[in-house]
Amino acid sequence: MTFNLDTLKQELLDYIVSEGFAVFRGQPGLLESLPTIVWDAEAHPEYQAFLNVAKIADARIIVFAHREFQASELEEAAEQIEDCEFTRDELRSVERNLDDLRPFVGSTCSIEMAFDYQGRMYVYELVTDWFQTFVDLSELLLTASSSDSDDDDDETDGSFGGYYSKN
């Protein structure tokens, strides 16, 4: 799903306030350690419905967080490439994909809204397609660099060492 989150960010904040909620500015990803229930934004992207549920649950505070794509993230990914053994074509493909992401530096790549109800955080999250591409590339690089170092450490280990998923 493609979103212009830079525009939507302010629209969401304005709507939250207009509906009588207080906005608590949180940090992106902070909710991951808490018990959460995630809104199906893929099938139901309308944030008004999510905030209506918050209103029905008598929530007064909406935790709002957004994340901007940083140049340092691309730099770190480029450095990680050095630890991976890719074929020339694979290397070009990864480098090309990273270069394609450069125009997005400074853009909002994710937005999270959440409210607490009976000890659980109910979360609405949007992530741009281009940032999901970056996350997928980062996981590929992490897996490729980890599996290379695992091979060096213990070649007889048949486990899935180095596998990492944010899911």
Mean pLDDT of 12-39: 92
- Whether 162 has a pLDDT exceeding 70, the answer reads no
Mean pLDDT of 39-58: 96
- Whether 57 has a pLDDT exceeding 80, the answer reads yes
List C-alpha distances in Å: 60 to 23, 48, 114: 9, 15, 11
Amino acid 75: pLDDT: 92
pTM confidence score: 0.77
Percent of the chain predicted with pLDDT > 90: 63
**Residue 41's pLDDT band (boundaries 50, 70, 90)?**
very high
